[in-house]
Chains A and B, each alone.
Chain A
């Protein structure tokens, strides 16, 4: 099959986007269910288990119920921006998925071999960061346009939090970029294959991994960083005034963001689709990648069931006075070792020679 033919290429990309979109949406639905079930077990209760076997159909029942609700638009709100905000939130959340490699080059009958990635380009990592940074507007505009003080405070808090932790997040990634010498996620994943998993970046960038994990949890507004939605202070934060499908969009955006930061973490630090047997059966890569994403999602739910919420000043201090300097030190050390590591090892060897 001629992959360079633009028509075929376009069709393949559209099919890829559709498949990825549907999978992510299904994953979102079952993440919501898993969250409620796992939280139930953590808190010593059962969670939803009535709709379908083990409550499998619960997310769809919730979806239909939420869709049936009245779609309220506050009278004093800025109507256009009020409609724009959830759209921006969900579009920017879903746009990031096109750059992640879901698996290695695989083979299908009648189609031939092709890599399991929708788009490969030079600045994939910057693209992800850029799309994420535009996502701030969804929340900030939602808070502003609702014309409600709780929404405004939630929106402001959330944007401040996103901006603060985006820096730490970006800097945690620089360590990986320095080591791999590329911004292309596919290349970074390929570099981590082999050596029985010892090439995974998490072993070379443990500090960067921890910083990324913490910053990613803060980026997605999850416990213990869920200040924007602190119910006791802010009702429901920036989406207080949103109901029906617009609430659903925000809800979706949050869970899609969870999944995409998990994808980025597993691609950059845990070797992406790499795992035992991938070189023989390439389709196994898809399974490993999914397993790593599910691990991070479980971590999210686990944290939510375990940790209390930060205070806002603690959040800011932690981000700016601890994570940022730590990330800077990590960059400095990584760069030094990258530049002089070989010389240093030679020097130490010469002492013992």
Chain B
């Protein structure tokens, strides 16, 4: 029996294409991630970060998790990064200046720690045998329906707790951003417990904001 009896040529081609795509997207992700930190222009950093998210989403897609891939694009690239780009555009940030680092003596320390960490990773990779590739799970593992069933049966409690956490963040953000003095006063009283009159509380709310703007 030749090898092609057990492993058909199309399987080999498939494996080759998959690894090529993996190298492409993984390289793209790493390159974009490096660009995020290396770029001096904040908007270029943001665009690179979008590139990271899109490459990551492609990797999820190759891991047979289309739902996660789509959500990655919608939530991170489509919502969060839009806000970041908005802020950069509205604040009109200048290109970052190259300054002399104030804590320069920490640089060799950082390099030392990084070397130790890399050595540890190399040691672990060398000493511990790599686990065999997991056999593919049930065919519906990454699909929307199975994720929905999981979320609303086994993981219902964490799901609900997360939603309450998000709701709290939402309400908190709205309370902070609200300009009406009354609500600000109520919020101030709820947070600090002090019984300032609404006008004074509103003043206390707005004063630091105007400082920030200057």
Chain A residues close to B by CB (< 8 Å): 5-7, 78, 80-81, 84, 121-123, 126-127, 129-131, 133-134, 136-137, 140-141, 143-144, 152, 155-156, 159, 163, 181, 183
Contact = CB atoms under 8 A, between A and B. Distances in A.
Contacts of B90: 156
Given A6-B13, A130-B74, A122 B143 contact: yes
Given A5-B10, A137-B50, 4 more contacts: A6-B13, A121-B66, A126-B67, A143-B89
Contacts of B41: 78
In order of increasing CB-CB distance, the 6 nearest A-B pairs are A133-B78, A126-B70, A130-B73, A130-B74, A123-B70, A123-B66
B201 interface: no
A152 B89 contact: yes
A134 B73 contact: yes
30 contacts: A6-B10, A6-B13, A7-B10, A81-B44, A81-B47, A84-B47, A122-B66, A122-B143, A122-B144, A123-B66, A123-B67, A123-B69, A123-B70, A126-B67, A127-B70, A129-B70, A129-B78, A133-B79, A134-B50, A136-B82, A137-B85, A140-B82, A140-B86, A140-B89, A141-B43, A141-B47, A144-B43, A159-B86, A163-B79, A163-B82
Contacts of B32: none
B155 interface: no
A126 B78 CA distance: 12
A141 to B, nearest CB: 7
B78 A136 contact: yes
Contacts of A136: 78, 82
State the main secondary structure of chain A at its contact with B. Answer: helix
A351 B69 CA distance: 50
A183 B71 CA distance: 13
Most buried by A among B47, B71, B79, B144: B144
B14 interface: yes
B67 A134 contact: no
B56 interface: no
B185 interface: no
A156 B89 contact: yes
Contact of A122 (B13, B67, B77, B85): B67
Contacts of B143: 122
B87 to A, nearest CB: 12
A134 B10 contact: no
A149 to B, nearest CB: 11
A61 to B, nearest CB: 37
Most buried by A among B43, B69, B74, B90: B74
A152 B71 CA distance: 29
B152 to A, nearest CB: 13
Given A6-B13, A122-B144, A133 B86 contact: no
Nearest to B66: A123
Contacts of A137: 50, 82, 85
A140 B77 CA distance: 14
Nearest to B81: A137
Contact of A130 (B43, B50, B77, B89): B77
Interface string B32-71: 0000000001011001001000100000000000110111
Contact of B70 (A7, A130, A141): A130
Contacts of B69: 123
Contacts of B145: 181
A183 B148 CA distance: 12
A122 B145 CA distance: 9
Contact of A126 (B54, B74, B77): B74
Contacts of A134: 50, 54, 73, 77-78
A338 B82 CA distance: 35
Contacts of A6: 10, 13-14
B50 A144 contact: no
B141 to A, nearest CB: 11
Contacts of B77: 130, 133-134
Contacts of B79: 133, 163
